[in-house]
Structure 1
Amino acid sequence: MRISSQIDVSTLSADLSQRSTDVTLFKYQALGNSYLIYDPQRNLHAIGSIERATDWVRMVCSHDYGIGSNGLLVGPDATVNGAFEFRIFNSDGSQAQLSGNGSRIFARYLLDAGYTDPTLKLPFSIAAISPMSRVVVDVPPPEPDDPRILTDINVVPSFGANAVEAQPGAIQGSGLHFTVAALADIGRRHRMGDKWIDSSLISIGNPHCVTFVERPETLPSVDFLTQLRSEFSMIADAPPHSSGPVFQHGCNLQWCFVENRESIHLRIVERGEGPTLASGSSASAAVIAAYARGLIDEDATVVMPGGMLQVTLLFHEDEIRGIRVAGTAERLAEIRVMSPDYAVCDRKPAN
C-alpha cells in the first residue's frame, strides 16, 4: 500500500532527561467514542515510556480527575512495511489489540497532522500493535463529497471458545451458539428472563461475545449497563482487573437485535473500558456473527447509541478476509497536560 506523504518516525525517541514538563494531547471523537492521541514526535518522548505510565494513562482518561476519554492512542511509532504503527490503551491503562473507532480516529489524525497529504487522495495503511498482535488497517481514499473515513480491517475472523480463550466450564454450546453462564445469570437476576443465552464467540484480532436478542426491548440500555458496570467488568475485563472466571484475557461484550437484513442494533461493554456509546470493532464483530448465522446481508448499518456505522464484509474466494467500516471522526481539542512521572508510574499495562 502506497504512502502518500511519509515522515520518518523511526528515530523520534529522545532521552527522557531532556523532556519538557508537560505534553500535548489531541482529543478526537467518533460517534461519542473519544480518544486522546499522544504523538511521540510532537512530544519528543520515547514511545515505550508511556507503556510504563499506567497510572498516568488512567488519570488523563478519567472524566473526574483528567481530561476524560475512552482511551489513549500512541503514535505514529514507526512505519513498518508501509504502515504507520500505533498503540491503543484502554482507559484503565491496559493495552488493547484493536479498536475500530480508534483506528478511524488515528487515520483522521494522520491526515490532520500532515503525515499524509489529503489533497492527493491516495491510500495509506496503519497498524495497531500490541504484545499479542499486529492488525493492519488500510485507509482507502474517501469518496467525493463524503466526510466519512473508510477503514479496511485486514483480519480473518475465527469462531468458538478457543478463539476468545474462554475458560473451561464457563460456557456451554458449540458452533455459533453458546451460553455464557455468568452473562445469562446477570440477565435472570435483573428481570431479563432467559433472554441472554444465545451468544456467538468471535475473534477479529480482539475477542468478542455477541449475544443475540429477539426483541429490541431486551437490549440493555446504556444506563442499565452503567449501573451494573462492576458486574459486567468481572466478565469483560482481563485479569487483574477481573477474576478472569470466563475469558482468560477478557472479552468485549455486545447485545445485538437484528431489525432486518440490512440493519442491526447494538449495545456494548468494552474490555478495559466498560459501557460505550459506540465501537467499530464491536460493530464489525456483530455484523460478522449475524452474517454467519444467515440473518443479514454482507453490507449492513449498525445502529448504536452514539450513532450509525456502515459495515461491509470483504471477501476473497467466498471467505471473509476483512471488514470495511465507514464513519466520521472529528478533532475536538489540543490540550497540554502535566508529564507523567515515569519513576513512579512504572507498572506495565495488563495484556
Structure 2
Amino acid sequence: MSAQTRNFVKMHGLGNDFVIFDGRRDGFALEPAAAAAVADRHFGVGCDQVITLLPSARADLYMRIQNPDGSEAGACGNATRCVANLIFDADGGERMTIETKNGVLPCRREADGRITVDMGAPKLEWREIPLARAMDTLDVEFTIQSPAGFTLAAPVAVNMGNPHAVFFVANADAIDLAAVGPMIEHDPLFPERVNVSVAEVKNRELIRLRVWERGAGITLACGSAACAVTVAATRRGIIDGHATVIMDGGALDMRWAEDGHVLMTGPAALSFRGAWALHGGGR
C-alpha cells in the first residue's frame, strides 16, 4: 500500500455487496463524500455499503457502516456475516464478536460454512423505531398510493439497529418498489427515514421479501430486513418464529429465539481485493 492508495476487500452476502477497509491499526476513516465516491458504481468501486473495521474495547472489532449517500447505518446483517467470514479465514477460529452502533453481535461459523449472527433483540415501541407520533407498531396508521395506483397500508414497524416498515402483500414481485420505496423512506412519519420491505408469506416457513434500503435503494438482500420481517410476521401470527426468507439474491434462515434475539444464518463470499486511490476525505 502506498501513501496514495488504500487496500480493500470486496465481498457480498447474497449479492448485497460491500467494500471493506481495515482501519484497526491506524484508525482509518472515510468522510461521507469519500464513502459515497467509493460506493459509486460508475466512478468508484461500487457497493451497497462501505465498511470500515476499527478497534473495539467491547468486541473483537468495531464495524462502521456507511451507505452510498455517505450516511451511517446502525446495523447490517449481510455485512456482519461478510466481516466474520473474512476474519475467520484470516485468523482461524469459528466464533467472534463484532461491535456496531446497535451493540455487540456474536458470530459463529457453522459446519456447512455459513455464518450465523445474533442480531440482538428487536425494538418495538414507537419511540424506538422511531415514529413521529404514538401508535401501535404492529398496525401502523400509514397508507400510501404509488404513481401506478397500487396502495400499501398498515405496515409493521421494527427497529433492528435501523428502522424498518414491513408491508405484507399478496405478490411482492408485483410492487413497483423503485417508485414507492423513496416515497415511504422520506415520509415525515419516519423522522430518521426508514427501510421499506414488501413481504409475501408463501407458507408458515417461507417468506418472499424485497427491500428498499434507506440511503441505498433496492438491494439484492438485506439481513436486518430479513430480521424485521421475521419479527413482524411472528407478531402478526403468520409464522411460528422461524422461516426461510427468500430475497432477490438468495435465502437466509431466520429465527426469533426464545431469549428474544433474532438469529440469522446465511453465506458470505469474497469477490476480489483491490486498492482505492485516495483523493481526499480519507484519513
Q: TM-score, normalised by structure 1?
A: 0.75
Q: Tell me the distance in 1 between the aligned counterparts of 2:135 and 2:201.
A: 21
The one-letter amino acid of 1:163's match is: E
Matched, 1:338 2:277: yes
- Counterparts in 2 of 1:25-104, with a 5 A limit? 25-41=8-24, 45-47=26-28, 49-50=29-30, 53-75=31-53, 77-104=54-81
Query: Unaligned 5+ residue runs, structure 2?
Result: none
Question: Deviation of residue 234 (structure 1)?
Answer: 4.5
SS at structure 2 position matched to 1:281: helix
1:239 alignment partner in structure 2 = none
> Which residue of 157, 165, 168 maps to 1:212?
168
- Counterparts in 2 of 1:1-351, with a 5 A limit? 20-41=3-24, 45-47=26-28, 49-50=29-30, 53-75=31-53, 77-114=54-91, 117-118=92-93, 121=94, 123-129=95-101, 134-143=102-111, 146-154=112-120, 156-168=121-133, 174-181=136-143, 184-186=144-146, 189-192=147-150, 194=151, 196-213=152-169, 215-216=170-171, 219-220=173-174, 224-226=176-178, 228=179, 232-236=181-185, 245-316=188-259, 320=260, 322-342=261-281
SS at structure 1 position matched to 2:145: helix
- Count residues with an aligned counterpart: 283
Q: Tell me the distance in 2 between the aligned counterparts of 1:84 and 1:27.
A: 18
Q: Tell me the distance in 2 between the aligned counterparts of 1:90 and 1:68.
A: 11
Question: Deviation of residue 106 (structure 1)?
Answer: 1.1
Higher CA-based Rg: 1
Runs of 4+ in 1 over 6 A off after TM superposition: none
Q: Is the 8 A contact 1:35 1:70 kept in 2?
A: yes
Q: Tell me the distance in 2 between the aligned counterparts of 1:30 and 1:109.
A: 12
Q: Deviations over 1:152-203 (max 9, x none)?
A: 112x2222532222224xxx9635112323xx222xx3132x4x11210111
Q: Tell me the distance in 1 between the aligned counterparts of 2:268 and 2:191.
A: 32
Q: Tell me the distance in 2 between the aligned counterparts of 1:249 and 1:333.
A: 34
The one-letter amino acid of 1:127's match is: E
Q: TM-score, normalised by structure 2?
A: 0.92
Cα 1:294–1:80, aligned 2, differ >3 Å: closer, same or farther?
same
The one-letter amino acid of 1:64's match is: H
285-294 vs 199-208, greater mean Cα deviation = 199-208
Question: Deviation of residue 64 (structure 1)?
Answer: 1.0
Q: Tell me the distance in 1 between the aligned counterparts of 2:167 and 2:173.
A: 10
The one-letter amino acid of 2:251's match is: M
The one-letter amino acid of 2:52's match is: V
Q: Tell me the distance in 2 between the aligned counterparts of 1:161 and 1:96.
A: 19
Q: Tell me the distance in 2 between the aligned counterparts of 1:247 and 1:185.
A: 17
Question: Deviation of residue 111 (structure 1)?
Answer: 1.6
Instruction: Provide the alpha-carbon RMSD of the alignment.
Output: 2.2
Q: Tell me the distance in 1 between the aligned counterparts of 2:246 and 2:264.
A: 13
Question: Deviation of residue 59 (structure 1)?
Answer: 1.1
Question: Deviation of residue 24 (structure 1)?
Answer: 0.7
Question: Deviation of residue 248 (structure 1)?
Answer: 1.1
Q: Is the 8 A contact 1:270 1:276 kept in 2?
A: yes
26-35 vs 84-93, greater mean Cα deviation = 84-93
